[in-house]
Structure 1
Amino acid sequence: MTVELRVLEPGRWDRWYGELERAFGGAEESPEERSLWHDLTECERSLAAWDDDELVGTTGAFSFRLSVPGGSLVPTAGVTCVGVRSTHRRRGVLTAMMRRQLDDVRRWGEPLAVLTASEPPIYGRFGYGLATERLRMEIDSARVRLTAPTGTDEIRLRLVPPRAGIAACEAVYARRVAGRPGMLARQPGWERLPLLDPPSERRGAGEVGCVLAERNGEVVGFARFAVKSDWDEAGPKGSVLVRDVEALDPAGYAALWRHLFEVDLTSTVIASNRPADDPLLHLVSDVRRCRLRVRDGMFVRLVDVGAALAARTYAAPVDVVLEVEDAFCPWNEGRWRLSGDQKGATCERTTDSADMALSVRELACGYLGGFGLTALAGAGRIRELRPGALTEAATAFGHPVAPWLPHGF
Structure 2
Amino acid sequence: MTTEPRVLRATEWDDWYASLELAFGGVPLPAEKRELYREITDVERSLGVWDGGEPVATAGSLGFEVTVPGGGRARMAGITMVSVASTHRRRGLLTAMMRRQLDDLRAWGEPLAALYASEPGIYGRFGYGAATRLLRAEIDTDRVRLSTLPEGTDEVRLRRVPVPADALAECEAVYAAHLPTRPGMIARLPHWDRLFVLDPAAERGDSSPLQCVLAERDGAVTGYVRYRVRAAWDEAGPKGKVEVQDFYGMDPASYAALLRHLCGIDLTSTVVLDDRPVDDPWQHLVSDIRRCRVRSSDGLHIRPVEVGAALAARAYSAPVDVVLEVADAFCPWNTGRWRLSGDSGGAVCERTADPADLSLSVRELGAACLGGVRLVSLADAGLVREERAGALAAADAAFVSARAPWGSHMF
Normalised-by-shorter TM-score class: over 0.9
Higher alpha-carbon deviation: 188-197 or 41-50:
188-197
- Structure 2 match to 1:159: 160
The question of whether the paired residues in 1 share the 8 Å contact of 2:3 and 2:92 is answered with: no
Superposed, 1:286-365 pairs within 5 Å as: 286-365=288-367
Measure the CA separation in 1 of the matches of 2:2 and 2:63: 30
Find the aligned partners of 1:14 and 1:185 in 2 and give their Cα distance.
Answer: 27
Aligned counterparts of 1:266 and 1:127: Cα–Cα separation in 2? 44
Report if the CA contact (8 A) 2:2-2:49 is conserved. Answer: no
Is 1:77 aligned with 2:77?
Answer: yes
Match of 1:266 in 2: 268
Q: Give the Å deviation of 1:299.
A: 0.3
Q: Distance in 2 between matches of 1:77 and 1:13?
A: 20
Partner of 2:121: 121
What is the 5 A alignment of 1:165-314? 165-314=167-316
How many Å apart are 1:406 and its aligned residue? Answer: 2.3
TM superposition shift of 1:187: 1.4
Q: Could you tell me how far 1:201 is from its partner in structure 2?
A: 1.7
- Residue pair 1:131, 1:299 contacting (<8 A) in 2 also: yes
Secondary structure of 1:214's counterpart equals strand
Q: Secondary structure at the match of 1:178?
A: helix
Shift of 1:364: 0.5
1:396 corresponds to: 398
Alpha-carbon separation, structure 2, partners of 1:196 and 1:102: 32
Residue by residue, what CA displacement relative to the aligned partner does 1:207-249 show, whole Å, maximum 9, x if unpaired? 0100000001100000001101111222211110011110110
CA contact (8 A) 1:3 1:52 kept: no
Runs of 4+ that moved beyond 3 A = none
Instruction: Give the match for residue 150 of structure 1.
Output: 151
Tell me how far apart the structure 1 counterparts of residues 365 and 4 of structure 2 sit (CA, whole Å). Answer: 32
Following TM superposition, by how much is the alpha carbon of 1:407 offset from its aligned partner in structure 2, in angstroms? 1.7
Structure 2: unaligned runs, 5 residues or longer: none
Partner residue in 2 for 1:406:
408
Query: Could you tell me how far apart the structure 2 residues matched to 1:73 and 1:337 are?
Result: 22
Q: 1:189, 1:216 → 2: CA distance?
A: 30
Deviations 1:124-150 (A, max 9, x none): 000000001110000001211112110
Residue 371 of structure 1: CA displacement? Answer: 0.8
Task: Give matches, 1:7-26, under 5 Å.
Answer: 7-26=7-26
**Alpha-carbon separation, structure 1, partners of 2:272 and 2:55:** 39
Structure 1 counterpart of 2:206, one-letter code: G
* Distance in 2, Cα, partners of 1:74 & 1:219: 28
Structure 2: distance between partners of 1:57 and 1:18: 11
The code of the aligned residue for 1:13 comes to: W
**3-state SS of 2:340 partner:** strand
Alignment of 1:55-134 (within 5 A): 55-134=55-134
Over the matched positions of the two proteins, sequence identity in percent amounts to: 61
Question: Conserved in 2, the CA contact under 8 Å of 1:325 and 1:358?
Answer: yes
**Cα deviation code 1:244-279 (max 9, x no counterpart):** 110110000000000000011111101111110000
Shift in Å, 1:399: 0.8
Deviation at 1:54, TM superposition (A): 2.5
**TM-score of the pair, normalised by structure 1:** 0.99
Q: Distance in 2 between matches of 1:121 and 1:347?
A: 30
Structure 1 residue 72 displacement after superposition: 1.2
**Other structure's SS at 1:207 match:** coil
Letter in 2 for 1:284: V
Distance 1:116 1:263 in 2: 32
> What residue identity is the alignment partner of 1:150?
E
One-letter code aligned to 1:157: L
Query: Does the Cα contact within 8 Å between 1:4 and 1:51 map onto a contact in 2?
Result: no
Amino acid corresponding to residue 154 of structure 1 in structure 2: E
- Residue by residue over 1:142-180, the C-alpha shift from the partner in whole angstroms, topping out at 9 and shown as x without a partner, is 211112110001100000021111100000000101111
Measure the CA separation in 2 of the matches of 1:30 and 1:408: 18
Q: Could you give the per-residue CA deviations for residues 90-126 of structure 1, whole angstroms, max 9, x where no partner exists? A: 1100000000000001111100000000010100000
Partner letter of residue 250 of structure 1? P
Tell me how far 1:202 sits from its aligned partner: 1.6
Conserved? CA contact 2:3–2:96, under 8 Å: no
| Superposition RMSD in Å | 0.9
Secondary structure, aligned partner of 2:166: coil
Deviations 1:266-310 (A, max 9, x none): 111011111100000001111001110101111001001000100
Aligned to 1:387: 389
Q: CA deviation at 1:203?
A: 2.6
SS at match of 1:337: strand
For residue 20 of structure 2, give the secondary structure of its aligned residue in structure 1: helix
Deviation at 1:32, TM superposition (A): 2.1
Code of the residue aligned with 1:272 in structure 2: it is: D
Q: In structure 2, what is the Cα distance between the partners aligned to 1:5 and 1:248?
A: 44
2:38 equivalent in structure 1: 38
Separation (CA, whole Å) in 2 of partners of 1:246 and 1:389? 38
Contact 2:4 2:96 in 1 (8 A): no
Contact 1:149 1:254 survives alignment (8 Å): yes
Which ranges of structure 1 fall in alignment gaps of 5 or more residues? Answer: none
